[in-house]
Structure 1
Amino acid sequence: MPRLFTGLEIPSDIGFSLSLKRGGVPGARWIDPANYHITLRYIGDVDHRTADEVDDILARFAYAEPFALTIDHLGVFGGNKPRALYAGLAPSEALNRLQASHERMLQRVGLVPDGRKFVPHVTLARLKDTQPEDLAHHLSQTGRFPPLSFTVEHFVLFSSKESVGGGPYVVEQDYPLAA
């Protein structure tokens, strides 16, 4: 059974800039820059028939046009028990519309709604036993940076192998945004 999700690839130059934020956090398992992405909708483990239905509905998707995104800060999921360090995005109505469209389309093929709030981000590291003070120090040193902007011209259907997290991810299909 494939494990699938839809998302946006991160251009290599942006990935390189984000990779410079690596290091200096005890308990961090850093994600390889080749696996940086923005998840739009986690699908999970599905049978091949459902995977084909997902591909079919995504292939018929019509979205307005390419749009710009900006990565402009670092953040942490988990509060006092940090579990992930991420690069966050500036608010984008176009991205929110794209994600909401994915949610609606995937429910049409029988997937249950994703109950989590959409927080667009690029995971940089998975954290285990990392102290909040260590993260605060890291964020004070690397958290401020010039905005990193790029244009989204397509979205992809990713697959992943069951692993400890952080990839490897494979692009199964590419879907262009069209005006």
Structure 2
Amino acid sequence: MALKNHYFFAVKLPGEVKSFLNEWVEINKEAFPFKKWVHPEDYHITLAFLGFVEESMLKNSIEKIKEVLAGENSFTLTLNEIGTFGAAKSPRIFWTDVQKSEVLMELQKKVYESCVKMGFELDKKPFRPHITLARKWKSEQPFHQDNLTLIRTNEGKLFSFTVSEIALYESHVESSPKYKEIAIFPLMPKE
């Protein structure tokens, strides 16, 4: 049986963010022995995970989200800290998040609610904006939560960036990178 690809709407991260995170990972990955590190091209912030979607519904969702995002402005996000999801001593997801952003929260709410109105059954957990860096703790030693720190430049500064695009991605679990852009929704430049 053929694999069915899944789809999701996400913040498309600029190249400089992907490069910065990849450099951070290369410097720090030995301190965090996870089984699978995410390909830098796959870094994103999920807004709404759709799962498998029929072709007609996919086309409809692209048109609807294009309408929803029309007139939305680009905005700034700042990387914040690293964290985990899953068991404290053996986490399944290793991520970095961003500082609280009302603009991001409102944008996610618009995308999420539009998808629900179109008939998608979405995860009901509260939105936790994050960028997955790795999966599955593989060390014999337990993970130590006190290893979680703020993510900063080599000079100890915050790393901020402009979000100017939202994307619809299709996942290809057998590939690397595994996410393919299906549609791009540009945001209005900041004035």
Taking structure 1 as the reference length, the TM-score comes to 0.87
Alignment of 1:150 with 2:158, yes or no, is no
Question: 3-state SS of the aligned residue for 2:148?
Answer: helix
The counterpart of 2:81, out of the listed 47, 53, 73, is 73
Tell me which residue corresponds to 1:174: 184
Shift of 1:157: 0.6
Instruction: Verify the 8 A CA contact 1:7 1:39 in the aligned structure 2.
Output: yes
Paired residue total: 176
Q: Residues 16-165 of structure 1 correspond to what in structure 2 (within 5 A)? A: 16-22=19-25, 23-24=29-30, 25-61=32-68, 62-80=70-88, 81-130=90-139, 133-136=142-145, 138-139=147-148, 143-145=150-152, 146-163=157-174
Task: Kindly provide the CA deviation profile for residues 118-146 of structure 1, in whole angstroms up to 9, marking residues without a partner as x.
Answer: 10011000124446744547536xx4423
Structure 1 ranges of 4+ moved more than 3 A: 128-140
CA distance in structure 1 between the aligned counterparts of 2:80 and 2:42, rounded to whole angstroms: 19
- Alignment identity in percent? 26
Shift of 1:177: 1.8
Task: Kindly provide the CA deviation profile for residues 142-170 of structure 1, in whole angstroms up to 9, marking residues without a partner as x.
Answer: x4423211111121111112459x85101
CA distance in structure 2 between the aligned counterparts of 1:111 and 1:144, rounded to whole angstroms: 34
Q: Which moved more, 1:87-96 or 1:47-56?
A: 47-56
CA distance in structure 2 between the aligned counterparts of 1:8 and 1:122, rounded to whole angstroms: 10
* C-alpha RMSD over aligned residues: 2.3
Q: Which moved more, 1:77-86 or 1:17-26?
A: 17-26
Question: 3-state SS of the aligned residue for 2:128?
Answer: coil
Question: 3-state SS of the aligned residue for 2:91?
Answer: coil
CA distance in structure 1 between the aligned counterparts of 2:10 and 2:141, rounded to whole angstroms: 29
Question: 3-state SS of the aligned residue for 1:91?
Answer: coil
Taking structure 2 as the reference length, the TM-score comes to 0.82
Instruction: Verify the 8 A CA contact 2:48 2:122 in the aligned structure 1.
Output: no
Unaligned runs of 5+ in 2: none
| Residues 113, 169 of structure 1: alpha-carbon distance in 2 compared, 3 angstrom cutoff | closer
Letter in 1 for 2:112: E
